[in-house]
Chains A and B, each alone.
Chain A
Amino acid sequence: MSLQIIRPDVDLDFVGKRYFFVALSTVINLASIVLLITVGLNYGVDFVGGSVVQLQFKSATDGGHIRSALEPMGLGEVTVQDFGAADRHQYLVRFETVKNVGSLGKKLEEQLDKSYGPGAAQVLRVESVGAKVGRDLRRNGFMAVIFATIFMGIFIAWQFRGVSWSFGAGAVIALVHDVLVVVGALVISRLEFDLTTLAALLTVIGYSVHDTIIVSDRIREDATKRRREPIAAIMNRAINETLSRTILTSGTAIAVLIALLTLGGPILRPSAFTLLVGFITGTYSSIYIAGPVVLFWEGKGGSGRGRGAVTRAA
């Protein structure tokens, strides 16, 4: 007996509820755009430049004391945060990259020795990224997201041109929706947006279009078999037919990501969170965004073939 997550004869009305979910997605996307403009992402040092220093002290201290100790070095605005277990007395210090610093680690230790005593503080790690490098990485990163989205849309439009060119538009709009939802979630969560998170965002784009292709391919297959049926009915049947596969694929991936998010530690948390939100919204958009775009195109006679029915086979 095969494993049946969803009954083979399931017939849920996804297409009929599309207006509600399109409206909901529009509100969420607009909120994401507003948040991105007004609050902004919490960029890591990769994208804004600056220095990160990991310090370890022999006894507990606080951010204020550390800032005071480093003030004579003229590092500008310094942020200090606890890092790790309380008994380890480790702190992360961030400041703008200082030019021509020579041996920054040694100078930091010498300065801290003056306040805390010889050997009381140890510089475990220093990482610096120049401001220009950070800006270039940020620009290139966003260009990568934009180009990936556009070329995915072109590819899908070409592959499904036999049924309708609107599949490409649906895929692009679904991808933009996914990226905006993920970015909005990152703004709210204040998780650090660094190169690893950007890589996770590009992975979300790849996964989302993969799921869209699965549903679109089933629509194309059903359209050739049932040429007289309205496209809305074909689309709803295709979504129901692929529902079990979608739930199994997405469900297993999401289960792994939940484990990664809870057990992966603070370094992996931003990318695990990005992937988790992206996979959920990618599955949702394949059903409730890509499909309605195609229906809107076909219903308005975008192909000139009249309302509803698909009249050309793949």
Chain B
Amino acid sequence: MPGMVERFGRAAAPGLAQGPVHRIADRTMLVRRAGSPDEERTALETAIATASEDIAALMAAADEDGAAMLEFQLALLEDDALRAPALTAITAGTDAASAWRDALNAQIDDYRASDDAYFAARASDLQDLSDRVLGHLAGGGAEAAPAPGSILLGRDLTPSRFLALDWSKGGAIALSEGSSSSHVAMLARSRGVPMVVGLSDIPDAAFSEAIVDGESGRLVLDPLPEQRAALAALQSDAALRLGAEAAVLREPAHIASGERVAVLINVAEPEELAALDPAICDGIGLVRTEFLFSSPAGLPDEETQYRAYRTILEWAGDKPVTIRTVDAGGDKPVAGLTIDGESNPFLGMRGVRLSLERPAIFRLQLRALARAAEHGNLKIMLPMVTVPSEIDRAAALLGAAIEELEAAGIPCRRPPLGIMVEVPAVAVVPELFGAAAFFSIGSNDLTQYTTAAARDIAAVAELGDAGHPAVIALIRNVVEGAAKLGIDVSLCGDMGGDPQLLPALMSAGLRAVSVAPPLVGRVKLALARISGEGA
């Protein structure tokens, strides 16, 4: 036993958890020693055979659509034509892993280059096959699934791996790198999974138990008996606070003056809503639609999107639901949609820029949204708007989609079209964006762009402070601009869920926030203590 180790990092998602330690394997660190061409050929054939068995096992557990996609992957993997270039390279002296990676990359590039979105999206199937075989080649094969309730310990965690894990039995995440503004941290907050990032010097020793305190950013490995007792006390404090939050959860939110504040929720996946009572919120302030675009089955068709949007609208009843068009790019790559190898993806083709560049894909989303609008109080929101003409171009595409649907006799409705305010170019001169039906301040990106501190770079995370007076001044400017234009304004970034930052937002005149569902009670309690003066 290495003894107790305590480390402090940065809080990324609140909550307390204790459980068995599970180390996340770091694929970039895996190395294997190459052998003779014969040994390499055998190693590759064995890895391909094992990967085929994996896929066959996954097929047995998959639904019909999933099984069809896996059958396709399996057929590719079993086709000699797929491995032939790799075997040729091995004969010429290349090691098995490089030979396989190069052969698959050539195919992946070929698919990506396709103008047809459906063919381009197949690049993700080949990437999956490439990774799966490389994983087996590197030894250890596919990583064992963590026991339910485990504390995941590692360098970083990808959103797709987070989504593949079962969090229903608790658990937590402790990372040596990572960022509290990453996509995976957002997912952790919305699922109520405690998470700490930026923990330095985690020893490599084998630890069996860990405590993660997502409030204070603390990780304790192999805790002492008194620390376990302290955890129990903290948990009972947390239980008291949860009781106080539960008491106000279904009440309308007010600041101390009695003035009403709208508290809405952010939703990343429709499945989250099943466990939520619509009475806790004033609506949905942000639906992230990226979940639809990250399926291994490729880009979603119109019907899949329509059904997902309709489910969300029906959950909300008469309450407003703001659905954001796909915000791919930045730290959210989507195979077949986003552009690889940009030198600075956060300043590149992302959000509405990408949607306008790929009108065929955008058109399907707009058609699905216009059809879903028949079933509730829908608003459409464009991410990453920088100039007013982007709103005009998106509005024209929405108009064209509605004309097509009407001509075909398909029921649909034109929802209001608003924008995210997350680029400083908009926040400085909001009055130029009167074509928007509403503003929603995306404080995460607004902070990163205002402070020039990337949210996925741990070393500059301290600079990316949403409480910076410049960020607050921009928010005040956007609230005032919206009032002059006579349109609604809300905020859907992480700031809205932070009790430390809510007083500044209320002083800036903001009266609507959209937060992760587990934070609704905490936000309502915090608002009740805020005077809101200075607006």
Is B truly associated with A?
A: no
Interface residues of B, Cβ cutoff 8 Å to A: none
